[in-house]
Structure 1
Amino acid sequence: MVDLTRRNLLASSAAAALGASVVGVASGDEVEEGDTPGAPSVQGSLKRFSTTAYGAEVTGPFVFEDGGLLYSLQHPSEENPEPFGRAAVGYFSGFSFAFDGSNDDFTEVGVPDTDAKQRAVRSASGDYEVLVQGGEPIDGGSERLGVTQTPDGTDISGENFAGTQYGGPATNPDCNQFVPTDDDGTEGYLFTNWENSPGNVSRVFISQDEDGEWSADPDDALNLANTDSLRELGGTRINCYGDLSPWGTMVSSEENYAHPRVSLTATVSDIVEADSGEGLVGACQFWNRPNPTEITDALGTYAEDGELGESWYPQGAFALSGVEFLAYYLGAERADQSGEDNLATTPIDDVYPNPYRYGYHVDFREPAADEPEAVKYWVMGRASWEAPDFQGDRKTVYGCSDGDSKGIYKFVADEPIPSYDDTDDIAGTLYAPKITNDAANASEAGERNSPAQTPLEVEWLELGHATNGEVAEWIADYDDVTQAEYLDAHAETDWREDPAAALREADLEVVRNGNQNYVTDAEIVEWASQYEADGPDGVDEELRRVPFIETRAAAKEIGASIEFNKAEGVDSVDDSQPGDFVYFGISEFNDDLANDEGDIQMDRVDGGVVYRAELERNYNVSTLEPVITGPDFTDSPRDADDALRNIDNVYTMRDGRVLCCEDGFGGPARSYPNDGLYVFQPNVLVDVDSVAVGNGGTGTATLTASSLPTGFAGARVTVSVTNPDVAAITGVSFPDALGLTESDISSDGSSVTVRMADTQNEVGAGGRDVEVATLTLRGRGTGTTDLAVEVEQMDDDSGSTIDAEAREGVLVTGPPPVAGSDAPTDPDGDGLFEDINGNGRLDYEDIQLLFDEFEGDSVRLNKSAYDFNDNGQLDFDDIVSLYEEVN
């Protein structure tokens, strides 16, 4: 999400232009003249389904089982006519997606070119009907929807408490996930995030009548923040997007913008080397400062007085708003706030939120219980999480962190997450990204490439391994730190005698030497030093906490590519499988992505980029491929009006199409200020399997098509073996669903052309990995060859051409028999031939045979087949590595 400070500035600049053709304004620092190739562009088709009411983002899309759609109306302008002047969640009456893989199932809505159009939620297919609105009475009037309360039941709002608050209560509904309670999916619980601090997640019972209309029951509604389960964890803050887990629960993400301990591109090492954090320190170092939001002004005063050489904005300082209100949520006594502008004159010294309790994914187990159980996944790392994406293996989770110079992260559990009886026992490994391809780096590529034309190659750096319970214990060590501790630890003056002098002393000490109440700079640097020397498992026990509760700082120290700017979306189809796509939305491709530092140095596209990554066999992703590129903000409205601008939430439907939400209200380039919801229809992708076969043996590779739209008529495709000395194509078979088929294999087996016609309309529309042919291949000689794919023609029922992309596979032909007549095999399909004796499995006999024949030609001449330690050569450690696989 865009931060509210920036949004308010943009809103005020655009307000006067309502009803006219307007172009938003951005500062000169944000926009550079230029024309980035491919901005805007789409690898597929993009169609606008809806525009939202003035002042609002499009957030929280959800598609019901029958194809119905809802989304949140987040912080609209109060000047909009009812019902569009208050935060709400609504659905589109009279419309449902057909799940046919084609955007032909709805009519595109036009641009909002009048005041009336800009003040409403619009769609050309269906009418937006409000289900619930923020602040309305629930549970018999004892609470208000989306409003967090103190333990004694007092609403936490500016009317009841003095101080700062992150967004007005119940004004920022975001993520929506529906958990059905019947088999037809016509009734159940709607979970909604409220992006405030203190944060909240509501649960409302909704049901659908025979006419397809939905209604909500406010008396059967809960604010989950006000339940004991979540309050015992410390509550939550800035709940942004989330995910519906594979086990059917709402997972809410905390977008804790205030977590950076270093600003922008800085590292903790920079502070240590400079012997001061001046100009470098981020917001979290001032978390427990009295009146924490005043730190930026204070730094300016200290610079004016000559006590600092410069002033700066600690990254994330705006999100320190609401921290005092979070203390009141936890039961703190009200501080004396009789000072100027309602500032506190005394620190909170009884109960105060622990910063390491915020910035996690929160799972609401037993979603239909009287009070669902809240579980925080501490072990998945701490960030300003926009969203998680849980994969179909129930072990792998991708997450994106919003804001400047942030990361996308991966977590892999040891076992499926729901299989752990005790969530404290959930164990796994946390990873940070490293972008490795030279094309992404201007200093390496010799030029600054366009993000629209340059994939990002990713390696994942292991940060550490832990259990959820271990991280919870580490976090608990900081539970008793209050605002008084900030003054006691960092000031010589007794704050009880001279609070202003003590605060100044404490601020300057924290700037120079860090906040000693929490993890120290020295601990982070020492962790990184031990990591570099001995790996993530070789660090001292007391330092293992560092990458889990100081995730961003730790990742920066070991050279991870923590450079993404506003990573605001990540999603894949439910129950994702290898071969499916994960979509990552980067709202703005600028700043650290387009500067002269780091691993990513490319052209600037302020309108953002959507990447697509294919899940590999082990649910890893290694290539981020740009599929949607937004406009340059120097583009004309003609180019920008229909382009996707500043991607926010992404939602992948089961037919492979992707809902793309915008968060660019009032920004430059367009003739109108409203955000919209677009539907991305990807090009058809024709792919052939990668396969390993034995020398002289045979194997099969499936030719598949994904994202086929309704009306697929037929195609002609050629697959070629680029190195015929390695393998030959010897046969083809087709699925019964295809009515007419034909194949033509070349005389030398180097290629085959297949033709097919879907005469019975049996091929599943929108399906993933739809089989269209299976090739039989025979290994001719040890080595590797590409399987190249060319889509020569693909048509729909009307005779029109279907846009299609081709992807090649890789075929590895293994070595000849090491002993006897059976050739080695590759049981796990990774291109290495672990089954040395050819009996179809890996066992101790394989280790013994490899050891016995290690000097023989059958091994020495086929090193790529037996390089089990992946160091590019044959050595005795390959035998040890194979032995470890058996164990």
Structure 2
Amino acid sequence: MRASVAAALGASVAGVASADEVSESDTPGAPSVRGDLKRFSTTAFGAEVTGPFVFEDGSLLYSLQHPVEENPEPFGRAAVGYFSGFQFEFDGSNDDFPEVGVPDTEEKQREVRSAAGDYEVLVQGRESIDGGDARLGVTQTPDGTDITQEVFAGTQYGGAATNPDCNQFVPTNDDGTEGYLFTNWENSPGEITRVPLSQDDDGEWSADPENAMNLSDTESLRSHGGTRINCYGDLSPWGTMISAEENYAHARVTRTATVSDIVDAGSGEGLIGGCQFWNRPNPSEIAGSIETYAEDGDLESSFSPQGYWALTGVEFLAYYLGAEQADQSGDDNLATTPIDDVYPNPYRYGYFVDVREPTADEPESLKYYVMGRASWEAPDIEGDRKTVYGCSDGDSKGIYKFVADEPIDEYDDTDDIAGTLFAPKITNDAASVADSGERNSPAQTPLEVEWIPLGSATNGEVESWVAEYDDVTQADYLEAHAETDWQSDPAAAVREADIEVIENGNRNYISNEAIVEWATQYEENGPEGVDEELRRVPFLETRAAAKEIGASIEFNKAEGVDSVDDSEPGDFVYFGISEFNDALADDEGDIQMDRVDGGVVYRAELEPDYNVSTLEPMITGPDFTDSPEDADDALRNIDNVYTMRDGRVLCCEDGFGGPARSYPNDGLYVFQPHVRLDVSSVAVGQGDAVEAEVVARNVPDGIAGGEFTVSVADPDVVGITSANYPDSVGLSEAPTITDDGATASFRFADVDDAMEPADTDFTLATLTLSGRGAGVTDVDTAGSFDDDDGESVDVEARSGLAITGPANVGSGGDAPTDPDGDGHYEDVNGNGRVDYADVELLFENLESDSVSSNARAFDFNQNDRLDFDDVVSLYEEVN
């Protein structure tokens, strides 16, 4: 989320920036789409499009986030609404709605628009709930006082209840027509609301605000310190609301700097991040004070710590926890009275929050401390219920991964949830400046990702580390960093403490030296070889720790991540990068490509273990020097992404008023991917045979017929020995296979209408592949199809892999096998089961020809090489 530019500028409907205000760029492929992109809606002036949700019947809602008050009612107040009279058909086709035109008049720019259904408001921020004792989205003190600037003096992160974001619906009946709508409110203190919804016989939805509740009032959330800046989220596979805390103020260092840069320089001047001033009296005014210190000669120059502006609302969070209000007024924001009784712990914010009992009278909630601390925009929990991908919003941030040891919802005690936190490393040379010095276009260059383990722990362990900082207050900031008595001379004490923190860091929390020492031990001994006291570092200071060990913490505004519900291997995860600039387009780091201020949407295919290793650019936004002719219909500054069950993706914009377009409004687009022609990857023993399926995926409008081929790149590894169609294929020409078994060709017509768009995935053929010699080869596809309307279908060919293993590993025994079909030979001795004997045999023969010639089949840790960690990974799988 970005602050509302429109609110600052008033009622002007012109764009708020021009092409002259951004760096000149002319990036190849910007804008572009690998599929079909169609605009469904534009939102009211000043508002982002956030929080899309699609009900079981195809109804759509989204949030009207921070519109300007000058819009006509009901579009001048924050709200959540749905599109009455419209339902998606889930046939994979964008033909189920007409595209809405650009808002080319002031009247159109002032309202929520769609050519398919009317936007009907369900609830609005600040409306009365709970018998008038509370207002929707407005947090309260423990004694029931609204925390707003009308009641309390101080800074607030956005007006209370003005920023509704994520929406997730939890049904309470089998038909999905009744239930609770959970909504995030992107403020500090943060809020999650629960509103009863119901659908009538005519398909219309209505809300019951009288029985709505603010979850911040529950004892469960208060015990975690409440929340702050609740942004997007996810509906978990176990049917609960997951809320993400977008704690921008967590930045330990500014942009591309590292903690070791500060230690080496002996000062954090120009390098320190905003989080180091968390418990400073009047923390969000630190930038103004730094300017004063520079003018007075205490610092060499003025600078703004990254994330300092998001320290607004921290004192209000203290009042939410029960602190007495302190007078923090004074000249230059220095003569202040610190809050010294109750103060929020910074290490309690920046997590995923799970509303674990969503339908209870008072829902229970927990924070996933073990998944790392960041400015989380969004999580995506995969269908294995163990793997979680998360996007951290802001400049020079990360895309992280967490993998639990067991399905997350199966732990009896949530404190026992255990797993490993990972940071990304971009490895392909094409992502950086080539030898010629020329930059590649992000529209044309995938990113290859390896995942670096940061550490392993349990949720209870991490929370116990967090709890050690619960009693730190603003008074501690002054007492730890200033010799001057703050009670006698508060202005001098604040100045003295600020200078000390800038030079040596905030000693109330994890020290700079501890982070550098953790990284040193990590490099020497690995993530499990650090001192017990240092194990907390990557979980509490996730971004800083990842930077220290060389992770690619370069993404700018990673704002969206989602996959289909109950995702499986072969499904896609979509990642939205709102702006491809700054650290992604500079001269340092692992990513150095052309600048695209309009951002990029990537997709990554889930591998058998739910890992992703390649981010493919699917949608590239405009350069901000592009003309409106190119930019008006392009996706600009992606925010939330929402993958529907038919494979289409809702794409929300967060680029209000920027250059390039002829209009300032953000919109909701629907992305329809190209049809994919997939062939499954297989592993086979020499002399054995295995079947592989050819599948058409993401097929809209059915298939009338077509022709396709499957080719083996190296027929000395595997050969195609037979092929057939499934019974559902009506009229077909017998498959032909070349004499060398390298290529099979197919031709068919769906005369029985078996491939109607009731489903969007169709099995077209089955191949028998025989192992001929040890090695690995690509299996490629190509094809052309017509849909049921007689139109040509754009086909994206996808390759698979075939691995033929050795006759045996070691002396004697049978050929190794792949029991679970994931392309790896877990059954090393070929006896039909996976046990410790397989681990021993791999260990003894790790450097043998039979293993090294089939490295891909035994690369259990998937780091593209054979090493002893492959033995460990197989052992962990056995156990």
State the TM-score bracket (shorter-chain normalisation).
over 0.9
Match of 1:519 among 510, 520, 527: 510
Instruction: Give the total of aligned pairs.
Output: 877
Other-structure match for 1:748: 740
Other-structure match for 2:310: 319
Give the alignment of 1:132-211 within 5 angstroms. Answer: 132-211=123-202
Name the SS of the counterpart of 2:430 in structure 1.
helix
Match of 1:781 among 767, 773, 780: 773
Q: Relative to 1, partners in 2 of residues 1:342 and 1:855: Cα closer, same or farther, differing over 3 Å?
A: closer
Q: Structure 1 CA distance, aligned partners of 2:66 and 2:845?
A: 70
Other-structure match for 1:472: 463
Q: Relative to 1, partners in 2 of residues 1:659 and 1:466: Cα closer, same or farther, differing over 3 Å?
A: same
Q: Structure 2 CA distance, aligned partners of 1:883 and 1:195?
A: 44
Other-structure match for 2:65: 74
Offset, 1:800: 1.1
Q: Kindly provide the CA deviation profile for residues 796-830 of structure 1, in whole angstroms up to 9, marking residues without a partner as x.
A: 12221111100111111111256668433233445
Match of 2:644 among 653, 663, 674: 653
AA matched with 1:814: G
Name the SS of the counterpart of 1:83 in structure 2.
coil
Other-structure match for 2:322: 331
AA matched with 2:262: I
Other-structure match for 1:400: 391
Q: Structure 1 CA distance, aligned partners of 2:513 and 2:759?
A: 52
Give the alignment of 1:47-62 within 5 angstroms. Answer: 47-62=38-53
Q: Kindly provide the CA deviation profile for residues 532-590 of structure 1, in whole angstroms up to 9, marking residues without a partner as x.
A: 00000000000000000000000000000000000000000000000000000000000
Match of 2:297 among 303, 306, 315: 306
AA matched with 1:176: N
Q: Relative to 1, partners in 2 of residues 1:884 and 1:551: Cα closer, same or farther, differing over 3 Å?
A: closer
Other-structure match for 1:617: 608
Offset, 1:75: 0.5
Other-structure match for 2:751: 759
Aligned 8 A contact 2:433 2:592 in 1:
yes
Offset, 1:733: 2.4
Offset, 1:712: 1.9
Q: Structure 2 CA distance, aligned partners of 1:567 and 1:787?
A: 34
Match of 1:25 among 17, 32, 35: 17
Offset, 1:838: 2.7
Q: Does residue 80 of structure 2 align to residue 89 of structure 1? A: yes
Other-structure match for 1:531: 522
Q: Kindly provide the CA deviation profile for residues 676-725 of structure 1, in whole angstroms up to 9, marking residues without a partner as x.
A: 00000000111111111111110111111111002321221101111122
Q: Does residue 285 of structure 2 align to residue 294 of structure 1? A: yes
Q: Kindly provide the CA deviation profile for residues 273-322 of structure 1, in whole angstroms up to 9, marking residues without a partner as x.
A: 00000000110000000011110000000000011001111101111000
Offset, 1:174: 0.5
- Is the deviation greater in 731-740 or in 468-477? 731-740
Q: Structure 2 CA distance, aligned partners of 1:340 and 1:872?
A: 60
Q: Structure 2 CA distance, aligned partners of 1:852 and 1:320?
A: 56
Offset, 1:732: 1.4
Q: Does residue 691 of structure 2 align to residue 700 of structure 1? A: yes
In structure 2, list runs of 5 or more residues that go unmatched.
none
Offset, 1:87: 0.4
Other-structure match for 2:597: 606
Q: Relative to 1, partners in 2 of residues 1:118 and 1:309: Cα closer, same or farther, differing over 3 Å?
A: same
Q: Does residue 819 of structure 2 align to residue 827 of structure 1? A: yes
Q: Does residue 215 of structure 2 align to residue 224 of structure 1? A: yes
AA matched with 1:184: D
Other-structure match for 1:492: 483
Match of 2:416 among 420, 425, 428: 425
Q: Relative to 1, partners in 2 of residues 1:579 and 1:873: Cα closer, same or farther, differing over 3 Å?
A: closer
AA matched with 1:167: G
Give the alignment of 1:563-574 within 5 angstroms. Answer: 563-574=554-565
Other-structure match for 2:664: 673
Offset, 1:771: 1.7
Q: Relative to 1, partners in 2 of residues 1:391 and 1:766: Cα closer, same or farther, differing over 3 Å?
A: farther
Match of 1:586 among 551, 564, 577: 577
Q: Kindly provide the CA deviation profile for residues 67-96 of structure 1, in whole angstroms up to 9, marking residues without a partner as x.
A: 000000000010000000000000000000
AA matched with 1:182: N
Name the SS of the counterpart of 1:838 in structure 2.
coil
Aligned 8 A contact 2:160 2:187 in 1:
yes
Q: Kindly provide the CA deviation profile for residues 321-377 of structure 1, in whole angstroms up to 9, marking residues without a partner as x.
A: 000000000000010245469997311000000000000000001100001101000
Q: Relative to 1, partners in 2 of residues 1:821 and 1:418: Cα closer, same or farther, differing over 3 Å?
A: closer
Q: Relative to 1, partners in 2 of residues 1:608 and 1:560: Cα closer, same or farther, differing over 3 Å?
A: same
AA matched with 1:430: L
Q: Structure 2 CA distance, aligned partners of 1:118 and 1:759?
A: 48
Q: CA RMSD in A?
A: 2.3
Offset, 1:24: 3.7
AA matched with 1:589: F
Match of 2:347 among 346, 356, 359: 356
Name the SS of the counterpart of 2:728 in structure 1.
coil
Aligned 8 A contact 2:335 2:490 in 1:
no
Aligned 8 A contact 1:24 1:669 in 2:
no
Aligned 8 A contact 2:281 2:328 in 1:
no
Name the SS of the counterpart of 1:60 in structure 2.
strand
Name the SS of the counterpart of 2:72 in structure 1.
coil
Other-structure match for 1:376: 367
Aligned 8 A contact 1:655 1:765 in 2:
no
Q: Does residue 799 of structure 2 align to residue 799 of structure 1? A: no
Match of 2:803 among 792, 812, 825: 812
Offset, 1:240: 0.3
Q: Structure 2 CA distance, aligned partners of 1:195 and 1:53?
A: 18
Q: Kindly provide the CA deviation profile for residues 485-522 of structure 1, in whole angstroms up to 9, marking residues without a partner as x.
A: 00000001000000000000000000000000000000
Q: Does residue 706 of structure 2 align to residue 715 of structure 1? A: yes
In structure 1, list runs of 5 or more residues that go unmatched.
none
Q: Structure 2 CA distance, aligned partners of 1:75 and 1:35?
A: 32
- Is the deviation greater in 627-636 or in 339-348? 339-348
Aligned 8 A contact 1:441 1:599 in 2:
yes
- Is the deviation greater in 631-640 or in 843-852? 843-852
Match of 1:35 among 26, 34, 51: 26
Offset, 1:761: 2.7
Offset, 1:446: 3.9
- Is the deviation greater in 859-868 or in 240-249? 859-868
Offset, 1:418: 0.5
Match of 2:629 among 599, 617, 638: 638
Aligned 8 A contact 2:65 2:165 in 1:
yes
Q: Kindly provide the CA deviation profile for residues 721-770 of structure 1, in whole angstroms up to 9, marking residues without a partner as x.
A: 11122221111122222222331112222110112322233336385653
Q: Structure 2 CA distance, aligned partners of 1:880 and 1:290?
A: 50
Name the SS of the counterpart of 1:597 in structure 2.
coil
AA matched with 2:195: V
Q: Does residue 439 of structure 2 align to residue 459 of structure 1? A: no
- Is the deviation greater in 287-296 or in 771-780? 771-780
Aligned 8 A contact 1:163 1:342 in 2:
no
Name the SS of the counterpart of 1:453 in structure 2.
coil
Aligned 8 A contact 2:285 2:333 in 1:
no
Q: Relative to 1, partners in 2 of residues 1:124 and 1:273: Cα closer, same or farther, differing over 3 Å?
A: same
Aligned 8 A contact 2:578 2:598 in 1:
yes
Q: Relative to 1, partners in 2 of residues 1:851 and 1:177: Cα closer, same or farther, differing over 3 Å?
A: closer
Offset, 1:843: 3.8
Offset, 1:861: 7.0
Other-structure match for 1:690: 681
Other-structure match for 1:790: 782
